[in-house]
A and B are shown apart, each in its own frame.
Chain A
Amino acid sequence: DTGVSQDPRHKITKRGQNVTFRCDPISEHNRLYWYRQTLGQGPEFLTYFQNEAQLEKSRLLSDRFSAERPKGSFSTLEIQRTEQGDSAMYLCASSKAQGNYGYTFGSGTRLTVV
């Protein structure tokens, strides 16, 4: 069990560019979540996968955001045409399918849009 891995740890991009983040969950975890955390705030839910199916997407997630989890393993979060307001820490977490007993979070990807 190597925990939840996120790559990259940091990303600086120019406004208008596209960025993609990757998350590798704990191998036996069926559920995968993406959260966003801005400075001085708690994490906010973005989207949720059970296996390869994306079952919920927050209204916070504009059309510029897309997430995938092919084959129910790793997941990617893509942001198109980045804006300065997208600057945040993007956190991935995973859990087992039975019950909600607390997630395991990755270390996050910090995005800075300049």
Chain B
Amino acid sequence: AQSVTQLDSQVPVFEEAPVELRCNYSSSVSVYLFWYVQYPNQGLQLLLKYLSGSTLVKGINGFEAEFNKSQTSFHLRKPSVHISDTAEYFCAVSGINDYKLSFGAGTTVTVRA
């Protein structure tokens, strides 16, 4: 089984500042990793995913994440945030031969002007 720990429950940040959301995972098998964003009263939207290959993954809306196997981490970054990035962000993991996703508890990002 896999599990995810998101190390920050809330991250306040000023507009145009950089942001990093931390995610650590645990698994006994090789994994796929995902970041999703959830806006209020909506479902989850896929931001980016790591399946294999380059450890630096670029996603939508200017986000990127880096897979670090030795640290079992998959931190999400954006160099300059906008007010519209205010949302909840979820890190998720699955085994490469599994279909289920295990999610972290989420990180709430609040962007202030």
Listed in ascending order, the chain A residues whose CB lies under 8 Å from chain B are 4, 6, 31, 33, 40-45, 48, 56, 91, 93, 95, 100-108, 110
Contacts and interface: CB of A to CB of B under 8 A. Distances in A.
A106 B43 CA distance: 5
B3 to A, nearest CB: 11
Contact of B101 (A4, A6, A103): A103
A4 B43 contact: yes
Nearest to B36: A105
B28 interface: no
Contacts of B106: 40-42
A48 B100 contact: yes
Contacts of A6: 43
Interface of B: 4, 32, 34, 36, 41-46, 49, 51, 90, 92, 94, 96, 98-106
B99 to A, nearest CB: 5
Contact of A107 (B4, B43, B100, B105): B43
22 contacts: A4-B43, A31-B99, A41-B105, A42-B90, A42-B104, A42-B106, A43-B101, A44-B103, A45-B101, A93-B43, A100-B98, A100-B101, A101-B32, A101-B49, A102-B34, A102-B46, A104-B46, A105-B36, A105-B45, A106-B43, A107-B41, A108-B41
